Amino acid sequence: MNLQNEVFRYRYKLGMSLSQIERMTNIDKSTLCRWLGEEENENSFYGKYENVVNSLCKEGIKDKILQLLLFTTKEKGSSKTVSYYKIWQVYKEYLCNAGINSITSFYRFMDFLVKKEFGSVEKLEMKRRPKEEKNKYRAIKGNIKREKATFEIDATGYTYQGNTYFILLVKEIYSGYIFEPFVLQAKEETGAKFYNKAINSFDVAKLVMTIFSNYGIPKIVKTDNDLTMSNNLLLSAFNELGIKVERTKAYSPQSKLIERTIRDIKAWIRVKSSMDFSSALISAINSYNNTEHNFMHISGKVRPVDLIDTIEFEKISIDKIKRAFCIKLTRKVINNIITIDNDKYYYIYKDFDINLELGRNKEYPTVFIRKYLEDNSFIEVYDENSKYLGNAPLISGSVLSPIEIKQEKNREKRIIKRKEKLYDELEKIEKVENQTSNVTIDRESEFNIIDKNIEIPKVNDDDNDEFDPLKLFAFN
């Protein structure tokens, strides 16, 4: 109910006519009459069910229904509630006597009762659900905005033909178009169990750079609060390119439009189970983009592949995009060398006179550098005023790109963690084996039925005769 409706009802109750209210508010009289009819219907609706509640209160049925609404059980890791239909079956006789003669009218009555006693269905769920499940039932206030040139980024995991894959997706939320994804297979010996451990900020940057180069720069980028998505590398690049960053509500998947799309993509993948995963994923995304959808913000059925062409993105050069996603660091030039991790770059700082200061108090010049994600062969050098000074070539270190170095480091970390877990398991197994070996039983001492002083006679062999089975039965 909006503010104009409230103002109209207030003025009408004061005795003002519909014509007077129409002249003051510039609202058509037909609309005012409709509002007045809705109020009368609402009053009759609530009045009818108030009588039902009073009738049930006399017999104590109302309190029992409220107890059933709040009753929950734990099944398969989640809470289960009593359905309206089961409540109807239990108290059908009492409800019919009170004037509720059908299941349809009972559902309407329950909506009234829940709103009257708890305020809303959402408040009822907040009251009866455990703390870890409340976010699933928290309602969204209003529709989610679908502004043009808005990208939403999210990652997910999927098990396909016995192998686990991590998928990074980018969606333009106005058109619903899904761009080409980033896929990473989790290897059993070194793989992470969750996508947020396997996918790093460099992977996100690489995917976003490719999309920006092919389509253009969006106005807004929406992500969740994951550390990978809120990395300084990404935030700095988005800020440099003039992109606004928005965060979705924590533990609220219903506020993310891409969550519904991820479920649809997974459903498409199940249909294409005869392909390898990369082909199945690309085919599923193409099927989704070329299928007609009924979006709430657009009338009629539309295809995302047609809508994406109507959106205007800002076009900039590829060099500017790569420069925005550079690694930005501060280093000192010591003996014409700039050191970054284990990599050494040669650079002569011309404006610095090393003879001015000698000894341990000697200060070396500080420079700002940019290191490209896809090229480790050189770095760009800037002074404190962001003035470009030149490039410094790599003279010692890895020839791999920063993205490849990052992936290699993450792989080594996962191997180390995996080894630690295996060593812990091995220690537990050795402890169990030691415990079982210490618990020995001397069966001879317990059941010593033979006297050790008695000599057991030896059996002599009869000339080593061979065994003859016919002699055993003595056949003549």
Computed over every residue of the chain, the mean pLDDT equals 78
Structure tokens at 61: 């049925």
Three-state DSSP state, 33: helix
Closest CA to 391 of 378, 402, 401: 378
C-alpha to C-alpha distance for 330 and 339, rounded to whole angstroms? 10
pLDDT tens for 80-106 read: 888 888 888 888 888 888 888 888 888
Q: What dihedral angle (degrees, nearest 10) is formed by the CA atoms of 321, 326, 332, 336?
A: -70
pLDDT of residue 4: 61
Q: Which residues pair with 407 in a beta bridge?
A: none
pLDDT of residue 42: 47
* Neighbour-count burial for 263-300, b at 16+ CB within 10 Å, e otherwise: ebbeebbeebeeeebeebbeebbeebbeeebebeeeee
C-alpha to C-alpha distance for 45 and 428, rounded to whole angstroms? 69
Closest CA to 224 of 167, 153, 137: 153
pLDDT of the chain, 476 residues: tens digit per residue: 455 666 656 666 666 676 777 777 777 766 766 666 555 444 444 556 788 888 888 778 888 888 888 888 887 677 888 888 888 888 888 888 888 888 888 888 888 888 888 888 878 888 888 887 776 666 555 567 788 899 999 988 888 888 888 899 999 999 999 999 999 887 644 455 666 667 888 889 999 999 999 999 999 999 887 777 878 889 999 999 999 998 887 656 667 888 888 888 988 888 777 788 989 999 999 999 999 988 877 878 899 999 999 998 999 999 999 999 998 889 988 888 888 888 889 888 876 555 555 555 567 888 999 988 888 888 999 988 888 888 999 888 776 667 677 767 777 777 887 788 888 888 888 888 887 766 554 545 544 544 555 555 555 555 555 545 445 445 44
Backbone angles phi, psi at 148, to 5 degrees: -70, 155
Domain 150-310: CATH superfamily, name plus number:
Ribonuclease H-like superfamily/Ribonuclease H (3.30.420.10)
Three-state DSSP state, 400: coil
Check if CATH label 2.40.50 holds for domain 326-355+362-398: yes
pTM: 0.57
The one-letter amino acid code at 313 reads: F
Three-state DSSP state, 169: strand
C-alpha to C-alpha distance for 410 and 229, rounded to whole angstroms? 17
Q: Contact, 191 vs 414, CB < 8 A?
A: yes
Q: What dihedral angle (degrees, nearest 10) is formed by the CA atoms of 158, 164, 169, 175?
A: -30
C-alpha to C-alpha distance for 469 and 225, rounded to whole angstroms? 87
Beta strand pairing call for 337-340 and 343-346: antiparallel
Structure tokens at 299: 């009338």
pLDDT of residue 241: 93
Three-state DSSP state, 59: helix
C-alpha to C-alpha distance for 393 and 378, rounded to whole angstroms? 4
pLDDT of residue 6: 64
Name the residue ranges covered by the structural domains of the chain. Answer: 3-137, 150-310, 326-355+362-398, 400-455
DSSP 307: H
Q: Contact, 293 vs 176, CB < 8 A?
A: yes
Q: Contact, 206 vs 403, CB < 8 A?
A: yes
DSSP 360: G
Total residue length of the chain: 476
pLDDT of residue 243: 93
- Residue 34, judged by CB atoms within 10 A of its CB (0-12, 13-18, 19+), counts as exposed
- Residue 205, judged by CB atoms within 10 A of its CB (0-12, 13-18, 19+), counts as buried
Return the half-sphere exposure (C-beta side, CA atoms, 13 A cut-off) of residue 288. Answer: 26
pLDDT of residue 242: 92
Place of tokens 């199940």: 270
Q: Which residues contact 439 (CB under 8 A, 6 or more apart)?
A: none
Identify the sign of the CA torsion 416, 420, 422, 426: positive
Gyration radius of the chain's alpha carbons: 38
Residue 1's alpha-carbon distances to 7, 46, 318, 447, in angstroms, are 11, 16, 51, 92
